[in-house]
Amino acid sequence: MNSFVIILVSSLLYLVAYHTYGRFLAKKIFKIDPSNRCPSETHHDGIDFVVTNKLVLFGHHFTSIAGTGPIVGPAIAIIWGWVPALIWILVGSIFMGAVHDVGALVISLRNEGRSIGDLAGDMIGPRVKFLFMLIIFFALWIVIAIFGVVIASVFSLFPESVIPVWSQLPIAIWLGFMVYKKGKSHITFGLIATVLMYVTIVIGAYTSGLLPTLGVGTWVVLLLIYAYIASILPVTVLLQPRDYINAFQLCIAIALLLLGIIITNPPMVAPAVNWHPEGAPPIFPLLFITVACGAISGFHCLVSSGTSSKQCASEAHAQGISYGGMLLEGLLAVIVLIACGAGIGLGLEKAGITYTGTEAFAQQYASWQSAEGLGAKIAAFVTGAANMISGLGLPHGLVVTLMGVFVASFAATTLDTATRIQRYIVTEIAISCKVPALGKKHPATFIAVSTALLLAFSGGSGKGAIALWPLFGAVNQLLGGLALLVITVWLAKKKIPIFYTAIPMVFMIAVTGWAMKINLVDFYTQGEKLLFSIGAIITLLQIWMAVEGMIVLARLRRKA
């Protein structure tokens, strides 16, 4: 199959979906009303609640929800064949993920910018609120620990990305100062800041050998210290301007990748379908939790209701930010699929031998074990992407640096956004448990960071959180299903048709429960006590919350 045809059809499908199904949901189901005042205005505090330009907020929202999720998921799921992965990305993002994202944003906008977990108490009951808060805490605990290790691993795999990623911080602070303190144009100075960042990429590409080598554990500690500081600063100081730069970076990277696909036009060398790869778990239901962020992701509801709803200037922006952001992430996942399934066929070097075509794919994806590691996932994308972009005449080494920075920057955005949201969750749990002192900014942030640090070092080297990677997909998708449950109950109480959220909700709760059962059996037989314990606790919480939610829905239907 020609890769250009895949990206062209996918792009057109997303464009049509945004202007048809997305518009229908916004107007007829969630009834977006631009005259409603948003929490960013009614609760303005200059720290978390800030009225924000829609382009700046889109930059924050998209880079926060993307992270490395739409990269890692497709990069491993393609081992089952590119056709099943592509179908799930397209169908999931249009009819499930984007519906989930816009629903979470809208109900938070209508309820003082409160989180989806907090709102579960209003929709279903106080007990469910506490259950959902615990599930979210566990999910974010895993996210913060894992993404700290992800960035540290990228620094180890691509040391040339270290200087650009850390240089982005002072550049972002400068951008925030110029826009919010000096009143300069966010577009003009955003472009200047992006140019400065690309200068640091060139510097990083040719000076990486001069840097001292740090271990993954050391990087994890430094990154979590950074996450602590970044998550307590006003959003206008670092979070918004850094994410705005990353939004420009994303547009440039996607443009380069699209041009690379057009110029090199690589054929898909991955098999269309591979039902039984060596050592792999069953494609059903594991496909639906392996490709998470590119199709539907529970983490998105935390961003929509945790930070984006507190910065949205008008309900009129909700469709573009949430539904549009999810479709763009789906497009990124399609590009990753092409990079791993076609771009890698342009050349893969292993042990001094360069493989091309189907041989290259077979070397990278010889078995589930060979493709499963974090490094293998990231390397498959970076190699394939660099091959395609190099077809534009750019130096291969520079392109590798650019892609390494792209991955690390997005992971860093997810890291500090997740830490900020975890602070909110700890605060809400502390208030529910009647220990408000622990819910204050610094104690709550310390709990968020220190627990992630303990998890990261559970194996003694800072890589402990990688052991939790099999749980990440299942918990993330479970969170999405439960968020859809809350959104469905909200619609039912408003006497609005629930079909459009109920179907995705039932599907996601069913497939994630199925996948979690498979994982728990594997964890138990392999003696993975930590994985089994966390998975079992989350499963019990899920069943409890789902049962209570279904009871409320049944009661509402009887009253209707």
DSSP character at residue 19: I
- pLDDT exceeds cutoff 80 at 422: yes
Most confident by average pLDDT, 115-124, 328-337, 471-480: 328-337
pTM here is: 0.91
| Token pair for 301 | 């509801």
| Residue 252: half-sphere exposure toward Cβ, Cα within 13 Å | 16
> Residue 327's domain spans which residues?
3-432+443-467
Half-sphere exposure of 127 (CA within 13 A, CB side): 9
Among 73-87, 132-146, 151-165, 527-541, the range of highest mean pLDDT = 73-87
Residue 110 lies in a domain: yes
pLDDT digit string, tens, across residues 91-137? 999 999 999 999 999 999 999 999 898 888 888 888 888 888 888 89
Q: Is residue 520 part of a domain?
A: no
Taking only the tens place, the pLDDT of each residue in 380-393 is: 888 899 999 998 99
What's the whole-number mean pLDDT along residues 438-456? 91
478 within a domain of the structure (yes/no): no
Is position 481 within any domain? no
pLDDT at 557: 80
Q: What residue has token string 């399609």? A: 334
528 in any annotated domain? no
pLDDT at position 432 is 83
How many domains are there within the chain?
1
Confidence check: pLDDT of 327 > 90: yes
Question: Does residue 452 surpass a pLDDT of 70?
Answer: yes
Q: What is the pLDDT of residue 459?
A: 65
Asked whether the predicted pLDDT for residue 490 surpasses 90, the reply is yes
Range among 210-214, 280-284, 460-464 with highest mean pLDDT value? 280-284
pLDDT for the residue numbered 504: 96
What is the reported pLDDT for 22? 97
Q: Are 139 and 537 in contact (CB under 8 A)?
A: no
pLDDT for 414: 83
153-157, 260-264, 268-272, 468-472: segment of lowest average pLDDT:
468-472
What sign does the CA torsion over 20, 312, 322, 475 have? negative
- Residue type for position 92: G
Q: What is the pLDDT of residue 251?
A: 85
Please indicate whether residue 307 or residue 379 has the higher confidence score (pLDDT): 307
Tell me, what's the pLDDT at 321? 96
Residue 338 pLDDT exceeds 90: yes
Greatest alpha-carbon span in the chain? 70
**What mean pLDDT do residues 327-338 have?**
95
Residue type for position 54: K
- Residue 462's pLDDT is 60
Q: What CA–CA distance (Å, rounded) separates 389 from 393?
A: 8
194 pLDDT higher than 70:
yes
Kindly state whether residue 526 falls inside one of the protein's structural domains. no
Asked if residue 376 belongs to a domain, the reply is yes
Confidence class of residue 505 from pLDDT cuts 50, 70 and 90?
very high
Residue 488 lies in a domain: no
Instruction: Count how many Cα atoms sit within 13 Å of the Cα of residue 263 in the half-sphere of its side chain.
Output: 15
